[in-house]
Structure 1
Amino acid sequence: MELIGSTLTAPYARPKTSHFLPAISTMAASYRNPHSALVTSPGANLWRTSSYYKSGSSLPLTSPVQREDFDLIRAKTAMYPTNRSALTARYTPDDWYKSNNNNYRESESSRKSAERLRKDTIRLMQDREQLTRRTQENTSKNIAERVTDIVFWRSELTHEIDNMVTEIAALNEVKRRLERALAETDGPLQVSQECLYHREKRMSIDLVHDGVEKDLIREVEVIKSCQERMRRHLDRAIAQLAANRAAQHELEKDVSDKVTAQRIDDRCHYLRNTSDGIGYYRGIDRMDHSVSLPDSWSKFTDDNILRSQSERAASHKLRDEIEILLSSTSNEMWNQFNNVNVAFTSRISETSDAKSSLQAHLAKTLQEIFQTEMLIESLKKALRDKESPLKVAQTRLEERTRRPNVELCRDNPHHRLVSEVREIEDTIQKLQDRLMEAENTLQTLVRTKVTLEQDLSVKANSLFLDQDRCMSIRKTFPSMPRLVGYS
């Protein structure tokens, strides 16, 4: 691992030989004189390096005369090979000692410099090794802390997911109960509407806007109101379920990302210098693929959890509202159902009493019609019975009008006969008047009988509709558990 801001250095490998020092062929180059070597004769030994003549060549030529003498000597040496042995001995012993001393000092300086460099390098390598190890340990510690953070947030996300899954299941159950309760209201609504339709078949005076009809209309309104509230809460439950699932999806996606990040960071945490799969990735430190910072990273997960908690709170509140709604709607429908049944019972009782009264009145009317008819027959017989006495009296008067002369006297018999005729005629008139009155009374009684019979048929029809048609279909009503959504 390289330190940030340091330059990359090439690694050095120890040669695979048993000796620590390099070969002579490689060491010879390090002692090579940077100055150009003197030109030697073709017969000179070629294997000797130029540093062998360093003492002679390193002497400074301070003047042009010396350089010219040197060139002359070289020329003479080349021209006269027999004088070579005399010309090569051109240094004094002091020069030789000075050259040796210079070599000693230079060697000592080079060795000290090399030793200093070696110690500094060793110290540098040790310091850098310690720095690299500390940095690697700190990096591993940071990765371990990062893994701990990931594990913490992952556990928080997992806990929130479990809570959300439980809340979704609970809301689903309440939603199914609400759907079943809503479906259960269709039957009572249909029964109430059919009762209203049946009662529209009432006839005549019984087609009245009575308490039963008011309660039936109220029952229809109550059921429809309950259905409307149930539908609204059902729509809210569907929308809340979608929001819960969206929050759950975000949590699961965040958990999946953290599982992947934890696996990668775990692998990075356990990587060592001796691990397999490590390699160079040049320039990777200058590339930044990050899309978040630690604060935004933790805030993202915290926002997901807060959003889930908010949705769970809203879902829990909605479940409580649905429970209250189911309880209130079931109570309202049951109360109104009982009110309608009580109204029906009261109305049926009233109609039955009215029918009984009508039947009694009809029986009395029939009896009176019979007696009136007997009276009319008696009056007619009485009138027939008065015909003969009237004929007798009138005949007597007519016969007595034939008496001659003075015998035609207005005597007592005459007065009595006149009185008798008038009395009988008056009796006949009274009997005829009474007969007419009796016949009129009979007609009135007959009309009353017809009216009573018609009213009886109306009451019978009303009783049939209320008791047989309506109450027969109102015998059953969904139980309280079914109205709150339990099957």
Structure 2
Amino acid sequence: PAVYYRTVHTEPIQSLNISTVQPFSSTNYFNNIDSSKVPPIFLSARQALYTRYAPKDWHNAQLTNYLASDKICAASARLRSDAIGLAHEKDEQAFKNNFESSRHIAEIINDIEYWESELEKTKDNMKRKIDDVEFIQREVKRLLSETEKPLRIVQENLYEREKRQGIDLVRDNVERELIREVDTIELSQQKLRQMLERLGFQNALNFAGLHELERDVQDKSRARVLDSAAHNIQTTSSGIKFYEGIEYVDNTISVPESWTRYTQENIRRAVAGISQSDELLSATNQLMATIYDDIWSQWNHVNTSLENRLQEEKVAKNKIQSHLEKIRHEIVDVEQTIEFLKKTIADQEAFLQVAQTRLETRNRRPNVEACRDSAMLRLIQEVHDLHAAIADLYGKLRQEENALQLLLRTQSTLEQDLEIKNNSLSIDSEKVMSIRRTFIMGAPEKSLVTSVSFSQPHDLITV
């Protein structure tokens, strides 16, 4: 391919955008006043014809290869020695690990045999005791039925309060107290049902405890057989094979502590079931008295919280109405300001049209009369000033419009919040408080709980 050259700037005889294929043209050399020296053109090409490496380089390269070979051989020898040592070490470690695993399995087998023996003793000592407490049992059933009345009311209260809207759908103190009341009643019902089970179905409870003991014994017997089989497996045993990834399979559901605690709990429940019958009468009397007082006390706590919440909602409603009135007045003022700014911008644009028209008219002056005189300079300055003024006014107009939009959104939010507050007041006062003015749960018979004193009469909080 042709080599292209361009003329230098010292003698621009030809245009710089014209290429030439004449490398020896006299126009391509610097003149005498330029002290730069141009190197020969074909010097690099001539140098490429000679050898690039010296004999010393060749010998050094060979020596480097020899040294590298020696180092690699030495490293390989060390690696072989380390590999043999590692193999012996891992072999010893494998024997040690196998011994430790066998020892741990043997310990587990001993633990299983111990607890299996304890479970068998407890199972043999399980006895059935039943006390004839039919009168107390009927009273417990009646009290259990009475708890359904306040439970239905509090559930209806929670259902009605779910109809609150927006931000008022809050977990306030009333809701927390209502939920606590539900928990109190349900916990009381649970205790009463448990007491009924203890009174009427002691045999069933004992049988359930016995069933748990038998199942625990059966599981431990199966586990003991499997652990014994695992303990007897050796490297010479038949049937051993690889199970890839078995070490990552974890189907355990307990740890040693919870495993022991599970059996202890089964034994404890069985022993407790044997001695429960002697304490049923006094426990039943105390339970009924406590349940009645707890439910009545929580009922009053809910009423107090509900009254306080009604006051808060009324105060919030009044504040919203006050702020809404201020917002509406401010919206009117901002709208008037926006109209004033638009009129001012229109006036400024009229002045701008005048100034620009004057400039355009004076630009048609002929020849030397087109003078950049003081009038023209003043008109130009006037145009710049008007542009700046209009830009400032438009910026302020956008700010006012943004403020108006924000005010309108705030107004909408407050109006919506006011509707929400009215809805909440209606729910809490008309649908919740109206059905909580009277406590409708009957107290247990005093003759049955002579050892317990009720704090009657229960005066309801004045609402």
**Which structure's residues are more often helix, by fraction?**
1
Query: Which entry has the higher C-alpha Rg, 1 or 2?
Result: 1
Q: TM-score, normalised by structure 2?
A: 0.44
